[in-house]
Amino acid sequence: MVEATQIAQDAQAGYACDYCSKRQPMAFNECKEACKGHRKLAEKIGKEPLNRVGKRHAMRIMSDAYGKGIVRAQVENNNLRAYAKEHDITSAESIKTCKTVSFFGRNYVEVVENLNDKKLAANSTVFAEVDTRSKRHRKITFRDVAAFYGHRPKDPRVWYLSPYEFVTEWDVIMLKYPWSLKGADDDKFHAALTKEGVELLTINKGRSPRLEAGVHYRVKEGLHRTWISFPSGFATDLFRDTWVISKRPRPVAPMFIGSPIPLRNSDSADRSAMLTMAYFHPWTLRKEEAEDSFVPFAGCLRGEDLSWQDALSAWLDGEVISEESMRYINNFLSVYRVRPCDPTEDILSDENVSDEELELTEMDLERALRSKVGGREPKANGKAKTSSSGKTSHEENSRTGMAMAQQIWSVAQNVDAAEDCNVPVDAAILKSSLRSARASQRQEKAGSTVALAEDAAPAVQMYAKVTIQSVKHWLAGVKKRTSAGNRQLLNSEQFAMVKRVADRVMDEMRAVSKQKFDTIGSFCVGVCMGDRALARRTSLND
C-alpha cells in the first residue's frame, strides 16, 4: 500500500511539474524511427557516390515528412509563427505563470565530479558571450556558471542557496559602468571610475575611449539592495570587475533540457544521487569559508568513505536547510522516479534518454579538413570503369588535379607554431596609422591609373634571351610530349596551330634582326583570317 501510494504521488507530482517542459513523445519517437531508417539506408548505400547518397537521404527525409508528419491547419501555422520566440520553443503554444531559463547542469556536474571523483570532462562548458555594453568597443568574454555560483560571497541572501535555487532567484550579469564624467556617481552604475579612468575620459572628452575593467573602473564595495558583488580574491579578481550577481524581478523556472538527469537503471543509482546533490545541495568553491554542515566545500560534498547514495540518504535525513528546498528535491525525484527502467517499457516517456554528447577531437578536425574527391570512385577491386570514348573519368581527373596542387602548395606537418605575443600598442600610434590608411584609400580612389603608375616605384625584371634555335627545340619537344596514360599531348590540329604561332615568332625574330618588316603584316592577316575555327579548338598547354 505504501508503494502504491508513493507511485501515485510521484505520478501526480511528475505530471504537474514535468508536463510543460517534457518533449512530446510522438514527435520524439517518430524522429527516432526516422534516424533508424537513415542509418540502415547509409549501411545499404555506403559505397555509392556522394551525390547519390545525398539524394537518397534527401528523398527519404521528404518522404518521412510527407508520410509521417503531423498536418497543421493554416490558423495554427499562423499562430505558431506569429508568437514564436527564439529563446522559448513553447511560447506559441503554452501559458506560463513565470519565465523559463536554461539550467546548465553539466557545468555544475563537471566541477563536482572533478573535485570528488577526479573525473576530467572531455569538453569545457564555458560559454563565450559578446560584451555589447560599448557599441564601439565590443569584445568577447566568457561565462562560467559553476565558477560564478561557487565563488558567491557569504551573503545570507545567496550563501545558503543551491545551484537550482540560485538560478531561480538570482542572475549573473555584466555590470554597468559610466562612459562619461557626467553622472558618473549615479547609483544605477555598479562600478565607479578610478583615477586612471577619470584622466582618460578627461583627455578624450567627447569621444568614447576603451575602458578596461579593473584599470579604469572597479566594482563598488558595500551592501546593495538589488545586486551583490563578488568577493575579492585570487580566483575572483579576474571577473569581479566585469560581473555582478543581480536579483531577478520575479523568480524563474530553470529547465533541465540538455542537462544530465537521473536514470532508473540499477547501475546508475550512484550517479543519480550525485546529480541530485550537485543540483540541490548548497556548496562552495571558497574552501576557507565552507560550512561542513550546511554549505560544504564542493570537494567534500560526498564525504570520505561514503558512496553518493549514502551521502544523499544522510543529507535527506533531516539536514535539508528549508522546506522550500525539500519541496524542490521531492518534485525532482518524483519526476524521474516514475520513469521506466527500460525505454521500451513506456513509449510515452522519453526523458530517460539523455541527449547525445558531441565530443570533437583532433582526428575529427583532420577528417573534416580532408577534401572529398568528386566523381564515381573505383570499385572494391580497384579497377575503374573506363568510358567507351576512352576519356579519363571525372574522378581520376579530380584526384590528379588535387595531387598536383598538393605538390605545388605543400603543407608542412608537425610544425610548432610560435606563441602569440600580445604587445600593447600605443593609442596615438594606432590612430596615426588609421589616419594614414584612410588618406591612402582616398588618394587611390581619387587618382587615375596613370597617376598611380607614375607614383609607383621603379622596378626591373630580367628574362632569359630567346633565340630561333631555342624556339625550334621547344617546338620539337612539344610534338613528342605525352600526358598520363602515354597519350599524345597535342593532336595533329592542335600541333598545327602551335607550329603556326611558333613560325610567326621566328619570322618576327628574323625581321627584327635584319630590320625588315615588309612581310610581317601580310603574315598576320593570314594567321588571323585563315583558320578561326582551328584556333578556337586549340588549347595551349605550355
111-126 pLDDT tens trace:
998 888 877 665 556 6
2 in any annotated domain: no
> pLDDT class for 449, splitting at 50, 70, 90?
very low
Query: Are 105 and 77 in the same domain?
Result: no
Evaluate if residue 348 carries a pLDDT over 50.
Answer: no
**Residues β-bridged to residue 297:** 284
Mean pLDDT of 334-352: 50
- pLDDT on residue 155: 92
Residue 228 binned pLDDT confidence (cut-offs 50, 70, 90): very high
DSSP assignment letter at 418: P
Q: Comparing 75-89, 123-137, 498-512, 521-535, which segment has the lowest mean pLDDT?
A: 521-535
**Is 486 inside any structural domain?**
yes
Last residue of a domain, one of 49, 70, 95: 95
Is residue 535 scored above 50 in pLDDT? no
Q: Which stretch of 242-256, 402-416, 479-493 has the lowest confidence by average pLDDT? A: 402-416
In a domain, 379, yes or no: no
Q: Let me know: does 82 contact 100? Beta carbons within 8 Å.
A: no
Specify if 390 maps to a domain.
Answer: no
Asked if residue 117 and residue 67 are part of one domain, the reply reads no
Instruction: Using a pLDDT cut of 90, give the percent of the chain over it.
Output: 13
DSSP labels for 13-48?
A: HHHHHHTTTSPPHHHHHHHHHHHHHHHHHHHHSTTS
What is the reported pLDDT for 280?
A: 94
**Quick one: 89 and 103 in the same domain?**
no
* pLDDT band with cut points at 50, 70 and 90 for residue 365: confident
Quote the DSSP letter at residue 447: S
- State residue 458's pLDDT score: 61
Q: How many residues does the chain have?
A: 542
Mean pLDDT of 19-45: 73
Band of pLDDT at residue 79, cut at 50, 70 and 90: confident
DSSP 3-state of 143: strand
- Residue 520 · residue 510 · CB < 8 Å: no
Residues 104 and 87 occupy one common structural domain: no
Q: Which of 47-61, 97-111, 230-244, 347-361 has the lowest mean pLDDT?
A: 347-361
Residue with the larger pLDDT of the pair 278 and 538: 278
Mean pLDDT, residues 355-377 taken together: 66
What is the Cα–Cα distance from 164 to 329, expressed in whole angstroms?
Answer: 10
CA quadruple 290, 294, 298, 303: dihedral sign: positive
Q: Is residue 413 part of a domain?
A: no
Lookup: cell for 38: 537513415
Does 441 have pLDDT greater than 90?
A: no
Cell numbers of 161, please? 542557496
> Based on the domain organization, do 265 and 145 belong to the same domain?
yes
pLDDT tops 60 at residue 51: yes
Largest CA distance in the chain: 120
Q: What pLDDT is stored for residue 266 in this prediction? A: 57
Are 69 and 208 in a shared domain?
A: no
What is the mean predicted confidence (pLDDT) over 65-81? 75
177 neighbors 148 (Cβ within 8 angstroms): no
The pLDDT value given to residue 417: 58
Please tell me the distance from the alpha carbon of residue 129 to that of residue 140, in angstroms, as a whole number.
Answer: 6
User: 3-state DSSP helix/strand/coil percent for the chain, to nearest 5?
Assistant: 45, 10, 45
Q: Which of 157-171, 325-339, 349-363, 377-391 is the most confident on average?
A: 157-171
pLDDT the model gives residue 412: 66
Residue 456, in any domain of the structure:
no
Using CA atoms, how far apart are residues 241 and 236, in angstroms rounded to an integer?
Answer: 9
- Name the CA radius of gyration of the chain, rounded: 37
Element (H, E) at 255: strand 253-255
pLDDT score for 161: 94
Q: Tell me the C-alpha to C-alpha distance, in Å, between residue 439 and each of 375, 434, 435, 449.
A: 50, 9, 6, 17
Mean local confidence (pLDDT), 438-463 = 58
Beta-bridge mates of residue 172: 245
Structural domain ending residue among the three candidates 308, 328, 348: 348
Judge if 31 and 87 occupy the same domain: yes
User: Of 393, 410, 377, 275, which Cα lies nearest the Cα of 333?
Assistant: 275
Hey, what's the torsion of the CAs at 51, 57, 62, 67, to 10 degrees? 150
How far apart are the two ends of the chain, measured CA to CA in Å? 93
Quote the pLDDT of residue 517.
Answer: 61
155 lies in the same domain as 224? yes
- Together in a domain, 87 and 103: no
Q: What mean pLDDT do residues 420-449 have?
A: 69
Q: Which parts of 378-491 are beta strand (E)?
A: 482-483, 487-488
What would the pLDDT profile of 153-192 be if each residue is shown by its tens digit? 999 999 999 999 999 999 999 898 887 888 788 888 888 8
At 388 the pLDDT is 55
Of 55-59, 68-72, 99-103, least confident by mean pLDDT is 68-72
**Distance (Å, whole) CA 180 – CA 200:** 10
Q: Which residue has the cell 505558431?
A: 80
> Which of 162, 165, 324 has the alpha carbon at shortest distance from 254?
165
End position of a domain, from candidates 314, 348, 382: 348
Collapsing DSSP to helix, strand or coil, 159 comes out as coil
Structurally, the chain folds into a number of domains equal to: 3
**Bridge pairing between strands 127-131 and 217-219:** unpaired
Instruction: For residue range 516-526, list pLDDT tens digits in order.
Output: 766 565 444 33
CA pair distance 345, 340, nearest whole angstrom: 6
| 96: pLDDT strictly greater than 60 | yes
pLDDT of residue 229: 93
- In terms of average pLDDT, the best of 87-91, 167-171, 456-460, 482-486 is 167-171
Let me know whether 165 and 312 are in one domain: yes
Rounded Cα distance between 280 and 260, Å, is 14
Do residues 284 and 341 both lie within one domain? yes
Q: Based on the number of CB atoms within 10 Å of its own CB, is 25 exposed (0-12), middle (13-18) or buried (19 or more)? A: middle
Domain housing 481: 468-537
Question: Does residue 395 lie in a domain region?
Answer: no
Backbone dihedral angles phi then psi of residue 127, each to the nearest 5 degrees:
-100, 135
304 shares a domain with 226: yes
Q: Please give the pLDDT value at position 363.
A: 73
| H/E segment holding residue 508 | helix 492-514
In a domain, 505, yes or no: yes
Return mean pLDDT, the chain.
76
- pLDDT above 70 covers a percentage of the chain that reads 69
